A = this chain, B = another copy of it.
Amino acid sequence: MAATASPAPGSAVISLLTDYGLADGFVGALHSVLRRAAPSVPIVDLTHDVARQDVRAGSLALLRAAPYLAPGVVVAVVDPGVGTSRRGVAVKTAGGNGMVFIGPDNGLLLPAVDALGGAEGCTQLEDRGYFLPAPGPTFAGRDIFAPAAALVAMGAALAELGSPAGPETLVRLQAPACSRLEDGSLEAEVTWVDRFGNVQLAAEAPEVSANPAGAGGDGAFKAGDRVLVHAHRAKRHGRGTAVSRDARVATAFADLAAGELGLLVDSYGHFALVQNGASAAEFLDVAEGDLLTLRTGLAGA
Which residues of A approach B to under 8 Å, CB–CB?
11, 13, 15, 17, 20-29, 31-33, 35-36, 39-40, 42, 44-49, 52-53, 61, 64-65, 68-71, 80-84, 134-139, 142-143, 192, 194-196, 205, 207-208, 251-254, 264-269, 272, 277
Identify A68's interface contact among B53, B69, B142, CB under 8 A. Answer: B142
Chain B residues with CB below 8 A from A21, complex form: 195
Does the CB pair A36–B264 fall under 8 Å?
Answer: no
Chain B residues with CB below 8 A from A45, complex form: 27-28, 31
Does the CB pair B70–A49 fall under 8 Å?
Answer: no
Does the CB pair B39–A15 fall under 8 Å?
Answer: no
A23–B80 CA distance with the chains assembled, in angstroms: 19
Does the CB pair A15–B44 fall under 8 Å?
Answer: no
Does the CB pair A44–B28 fall under 8 Å?
Answer: yes
Chain B residues with CB below 8 A from A65, complex form: 25, 28-29, 32
How far does the Cβ of A41 sit from chain B's closest Cβ, in whole Å? Answer: 9
Number of chain copies forming the complex: 3
11 CB < 8 A contacts A-B = A15-B32, A22-B48, A24-B194, A29-B46, A29-B65, A32-B46, A39-B42, A83-B252, A84-B254, A136-B266, A137-B267
Chain B residues with CB below 8 A from A268, complex form: 135-136
Identify A265's interface contact among B33, B52, B135, B192, CB under 8 A. Answer: B135
How far does the Cβ of A91 sit from chain B's closest Cβ, in whole Å? Answer: 19
Give 6 new A-B contacts, CB below 8 A, not counting A23-B195, A36-B71, A135-B207.
A23-B47, A25-B46, A136-B266, A137-B251, A137-B267, A138-B267
How far does the Cβ of A160 sit from chain B's closest Cβ, in whole Å? Answer: 22
Chain B residues with CB below 8 A from A49, complex form: 22-23
Does the CB pair A17–B11 fall under 8 Å?
Answer: no
How far does the Cβ of A136 sit from chain B's closest Cβ, in whole Å? Answer: 4
Does the CB pair A25–B61 fall under 8 Å?
Answer: yes
Identify A32's interface contact among B53, B68, B84, B138, CB under 8 A. Answer: B68
Of all chain B residues, the one with the shortest Cβ separation from A24 is: B194
Chain B residues with CB below 8 A from A70, complex form: 32, 35-36, 39
Does the CB pair A39–B11 fall under 8 Å?
Answer: yes
How far does the Cβ of A89 sit from chain B's closest Cβ, in whole Å? Answer: 18
Does the CB pair B29–A68 fall under 8 Å?
Answer: yes
Chain B residues with CB below 8 A from A47, complex form: 22-25, 27-28
How far does the Cβ of A79 sit from chain B's closest Cβ, in whole Å? Answer: 10
Chain B residues with CB below 8 A from A142, complex form: 68, 267
Chain B residues with CB below 8 A from A84, complex form: 252-254
A11–B36 CA distance with the chains assembled, in angstroms: 10
Does the CB pair B264–A136 fall under 8 Å?
Answer: yes
How far does the Cβ of A64 sit from chain B's closest Cβ, in whole Å? Answer: 6
Chain B residues with CB below 8 A from A40, complex form: 42
Does the CB pair B39–A266 fall under 8 Å?
Answer: no
